[in-house]
């Protein structure tokens, strides 16, 4: 019997996102599940460091570099042999994003891949497809990040349609919910803004085609589901979180009336999500409504796992002798 992990590469995925700088370390081998060996993340919340022109303030740049330094310490400790560094929407869209990337590259000694929104959608969809397999049929993936929202749908490993719009939970909070709280009237105004942002994305999705299975892959979706959803217990398998739109719509106005610092007492709401969870709920509700989705299942895999799987597909078999 072949021991797949005996030929594994110790891989570090450095994800420089809008909310966090995250290092995930796995022993990656074709045909083997990419389970985490170790991980570390630094909360940066880049949306609070944006200037009026969208560039990132010096203090925000220092927060990114500090997170990168912490991530690389873990990489050195675990003696990784391959690093996959990538940056997403906040860096991608910032006027000074290239300068920041160059500083990160100087720190880590190699190039950083700056993912386009569609790239994020494709990689995250791949992770969801591998997790659920072919019998999931037509799969719809919803990922709410800090700066952007990615949605993809299809029946294969590559989605037939994928889109990204600037409707991340951090961005919507910064632009329309700066206090993190809102009255019912203010919430409706936020919803109108979100619907306007979603319009170009929604037009890409055929209204006549409905998915067999809808999943949410982000920390925001997981937090909302832990708060509002239900747990399906499956003997011998990982428990599954399911969230309905009805549950979500019941919780959004209640969340909006609770002070952000008090939300940590609620199940699923971590300190780094307290400010932006209301905006995340509004985005989740509006995208589900626009795409006629009544419930989502929370997928444990997302962008980082998608990057690992894509690397294994493209380079892993050759490098590892398969």
pLDDT at 243: 96
pLDDT at 239: 78
Token pair belonging to 284? 């989740």
Mean pLDDT, consecutive 10-residue stretches, the chain (322 aa), reads 66 96 95 92 93 95 98 98 94 95 97 96 98 95 96 96 96 96 97 98 84 94 92 75 96 97 94 94 97 95 96 72 43
Query: What distance lies between CA 66 and its chain's CA centroid?
Result: 21
- Which residues, listed in sequence order, are joined to residue 143 by a DSSP beta bridge? 150
pLDDT at 8: 87
pLDDT at 132: 95
Pairing of the two strands 295-298 and 213-216:
parallel
pLDDT at 2: 47
pLDDT at 148: 96
Side-chain half-sphere CA neighbours of 42 within 13 A: 19
pLDDT digits (tens, 9 = 90+) for 173-202: 999 999 999 999 999 999 999 999 999 999
- Evaluate whether 121 touches 151 at the Cβ level (below 8 Å): yes
Residues with Cβ within 8 Å of 314's Cβ and at least 6 positions away in sequence, in order, are none
Q: Which residue has the tokens 């493209």?
A: 314
For the chain, domains (ranges, CATH) are: 4-114 (3.30.420.40), 118-303 (3.30.420.150)
pLDDT digits (tens, 9 = 90+) for 3-42: 555 578 999 999 999 999 999 999 999 888 998 999 999 9
Residues with Cβ within 8 Å of 5's Cβ and at least 6 positions away in sequence, in order, are 27, 29, 32
Nearest to 308 by CA among 68, 55, 121, 28: 28
Indicate if the alpha-carbon torsion angle 97, 98, 102, 108 is positive or negative. Answer: positive
pLDDT at 236: 65
pLDDT at 71: 98
Token pair belonging to 16? 């420089």
DSSP symbol at 186:
H
pLDDT at 237: 72
Nearest to 165 by CA among 118, 211, 128, 209: 118
Distance CA 276, CA 261 (A): 11
Token pair belonging to 54? 């969208």
């Amino acid at each position: 019997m072949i021991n797949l992990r005996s030929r594994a590469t110790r891989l570090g995925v450095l994800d420089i996102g809008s909310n966090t700088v995250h290092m995930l370390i796995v022993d990656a081998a074709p045909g083997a599940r990419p389970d985490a060996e170790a991980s570390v993340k630094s909360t940066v919340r880049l949306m609070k460091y944006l200037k009026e022109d969208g560039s990132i303030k010096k203090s925000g740049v220092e927060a990114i570099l500090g997170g990168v330094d912490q991530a690389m310490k873990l990489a050195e400790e675990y003696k990784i042999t391959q690093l996959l560094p990538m940056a997403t929407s906040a860096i991608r869209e910032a006027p000074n994003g290239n300068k920041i990337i160059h500083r990160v590259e100087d720190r880590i000694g190699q190039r950083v891949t700056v993912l386009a929104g569609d790239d994020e959608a494709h990689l995250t969809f791949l992770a969801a497809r591998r997790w659920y397999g072919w019998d999931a049929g037509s799969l719809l993936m919803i990922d709410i990040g800090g700066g952007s929202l990615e949605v993809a749908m299809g029946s294969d490993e590559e989605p037939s349609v994928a889109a990204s719009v600037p409707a991340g939970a951090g961005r919507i909070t910064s632009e329309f919910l700066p206090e993190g709280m809102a009255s019912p009237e203010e919430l409706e105004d936020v919803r109108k803004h979100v619907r306007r942002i979603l319009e170009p994305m929604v037009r890409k999705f055929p209204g006549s085609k409905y998915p067999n299975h809808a999943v949410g892959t982000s920390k925001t979706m997981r937090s909302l589901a832990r708060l509002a959803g239900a747990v399906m217990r499956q003997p011998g398998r990982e428990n599954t979180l399911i969230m309905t739109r009805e549950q979500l719509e019941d919780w959004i106005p209640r969340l909006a009336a609770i002070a952000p610092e008090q939300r940590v007492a609620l199940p699923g709401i971590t300190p780094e999500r307290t400010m932006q969870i209301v905006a995340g709920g509004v985005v989740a509700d509006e995208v589900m409504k626009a795409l006629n989705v009544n419930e989502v299942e929370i997928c444990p895999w997302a962008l980082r796992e998608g990057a690992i799987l894509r690397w294994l597909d493209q380079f892993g078999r050759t490098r590892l002798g398969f």
